[in-house]
Structure 1
Amino acid sequence: MRHSILLISMAGVMVASVASAEECDRNDQTQMGMNICAAQDYAASDAKLNVAYGDIMKRLSDNAGARKLLQDSQRAWIAFRDAECKFASSGVEGGSVQPMIHSGCLQGLTDARVTQLDSYLKCEEGDLSCPVPGQ
C-alpha cells in the first residue's frame, strides 16, 4: 500500500521530470525556462513530501490502523491537490504559461502538506491530538 501512495505521488514527479529534462536557469526569463524551473521546484517539494510521509509511516510501524488512515488521507489529499491544480490552471489551458501555473500550484499545495506532515513529526510529548507517536 505504501508503494502505491509513493507511485501515485511519483507520477507527478515523472511528468515534471520529463518537462524539466533541462537544467533550471533562474536567469532564463523565457517561458520555457520558467516552466522548467517551476517543474523542478515542484519535484523538489514532492521529494520532501515523500520523506515526511515515509518518516511518519516508520513511526506508525506498530499501528496498522493508523497507517491505513494515513494512506487514505494521503490518497484523498493527492486527489484534491491534482483536481485543485487542474482547476487553478484551467484559465490558461493550452497557453505556454499553463505548465508554470500548474507546477506552481502543485508546489504550493505540496509545501503546505509537507508542513502539515512535519508538524505530526514534532508533536510535544503528551499531545493527545497528535496521531503520530514521538521517537
Structure 2
Amino acid sequence: MAGIAVLAPGVLFLAEPAAAQCSAAQTTLEMRDCAGQEYGAADAELNAVYAQVKSTASAEVMAQVRAAQRAWIPFRDAACAAEAAPYAGGSIQPQIQISCLTRLTRRRSEDLRALLPN
C-alpha cells in the first residue's frame, strides 16, 4: 500500500500507518506519520466542506468566502509556525506544528460548515 505524502510548511509526513498502528505509536517517526495522516484527513474534510459551500452559496457570498480562505491559509501557517517556534531544533517541533495545522484546519471546517443551509 502506497503512502500519501502530506506537506506541512517545511515538513513532510508520510501517511501510511493504519489507525491501529497510530494508537500504539511510540517512536517520533511513527507519531509524525500518524499526525500527518490526521492532518491529511482534516484537510480533505476542509476541502469537502468548502466544495459544499461553493455549491450552495451565491456568487457574492462565495467571493467573500474565497477571500477569507485566501487570508486564512497564511494565518494558519504563521500561527502554527509561531506555536512550534519554542521547540525549534527539538524532535517534538514538527509534531507541535502538524498538530496545530490539524486543529486549526478542523476549526476552519466548522466555520465554513456554519455557512451551509440548515
TM-score, with length taken from structure 1: 0.73
Which residue is 2:52 aligned to? 55
The number of aligned residues is 109
1:30 matched to 2:27? The reply is yes
Question: How many angstroms does 1:98 deviate by?
Answer: 1.4
**Matched residue type, 1:115:** E
Q: Write out per-residue CA displacement over residues 81-118 of structure 1, whole angstroms, 9 at most, x where no aligned residue.
A: 00000000011112211111111000111111111111
Query: How many percent of aligned residue pairs carry the same amino acid?
Result: 37
1:76 corresponds to 2:71: yes
1:85 aligned to which of 74, 77, 80: 80
2:107 is aligned to 112
Unaligned runs of 5+ in 2: none
Q: What is residue 7 of structure 2 aligned with on the other side? A: 15
Cα offset, 1:122, TM superposition: 4.3
Structure with greater Cα Rg: 1
Alignment TM-score, normalising by the size of structure 2? 0.82
**What whole-Å deviation, never above 9, does each CA across 1:12-70 have from its counterpart, x for those lacking one?**
x741594115325221211111111111101100100000011101112xx32222111
Q: Which has the higher strand share?
A: 2
For structure 1, the residue ranges without an aligned partner over 5 or more in a row are 1-12, 124-135
